[in-house]
Chains A and B, each alone.
Chain A
Amino acid sequence: MKARENPFATSRVLKMRYQLLIASWDDLETRLATLGHRAAIVGPHGSGKTTLLEDVAGRLSLRGWNTRWLRLNEENPRLPSSDWPRVLAELGAQDCILFDGAEQLSWLAWTMFKRRSRHVGGLVVTAHRPGLLPTLHTCATHPGLLASIAGNLMGRRDAMPEEDLRDLFCKHRGNLRDALRELYDRWAQRESSAFRRSVGGNGEMVLTKYPHLQIP
């Protein structure tokens, strides 16, 4: 198995878009407008916050917004430039800041950032907990979502055996990113009992039914 052929390669996973389960995109955009385009996408690690933020960015661009990205994480917890106040000052009403990892900022830095970006048209952030801004959407995961994503990546309408999927989901505490990384390893090594049990006599994956899921 070559890395580039692995269905769970990072490049393929990153192409997956966020699956809205309990709301429509129209609802989400309406809510964002109601919140004055200042809102937070909240959720635990590996729940799709960044993916959803990217999808929101795409829709904002289609509606004429100029999107500006900021990305912070545990390895890079500080704003990228010492002259970020000047950068913020140059933005205007048609700009929307997309701030992935806003909670990396200290309380003081976040307060200053929020104050200095008041004039900017929009600010959408991601955070693990609510509180930075009004919540636009709370990302949540469940085993069925992992099955849907895995099915899409494998390009077939099948899924892992339910018990193995649940075990994988529980093992990673709902963190789909980590679960998909383990699926990468399993596919590469072909050691997973899940895949072995799923393989029929002719080597093809057998179907596992998830009638409550819609796998496009």
Chain B
Amino acid sequence: MNELKLGLRDNRTQFRPGDEITGAAGWKLDQPPDAVEVRLFWRTEGKGTSDTQVVHTARFDKPSPEDARPFAFTAPNAPYSFSGKLVSLVWALEMVIKPGNDASRIDVIIAPAAQEILLHKPA
């Protein structure tokens, strides 16, 4: 059974634009993979259809079936993490094993003051 571990330095998940997002991806697989990718992407969630865009990718080609690799991205200037009633924009880091669908994900926040922007006042 495949094991995937995706971790951020100091377990930090809240960032300002321009901050460095650092962490490590570890895996223990039954078969040697073609590649392992760590992606920084955003997606929308809410009432409508979802949109998504991968902004940064760290790719490790033909790694050992058991290994761990560090990664570092710079938090983009936009878009910011936000939530309204109709739509949320969520940033996330995802580790993907190729080929196949094995993946591990961590949601993060990228916004000024490292706080998700709320488009409405909480109840």
Contact = CB atoms under 8 A, between A and B. Distances in A.
A6 B47 CA distance: 9
Residue among A3, A181, A184, A185 with max Cβ neighbours from chain B (10 Å): A3
A2 B118 contact: yes
Interface residues on A, range: 10 to 19
A90 B87 CA distance: 41
A56 interface: no
A189 B85 contact: yes
A142 to B, nearest CB: 24
Contacts of B84: 2-3
A63 interface: no
A193 interface: no
A187 to B, nearest CB: 9
Interface of A: 1-6, 9-11, 181, 184-185, 188-190
6 contacts: A2-B85, A3-B46, A3-B88, A9-B47, A11-B50, A189-B85
Given A4-B46, A9-B47, A188-B47, 11 more contacts: A2-B85, A2-B88, A3-B45, A3-B47, A3-B86, A6-B47, A10-B49, A11-B45, A11-B50, A184-B47, A189-B85
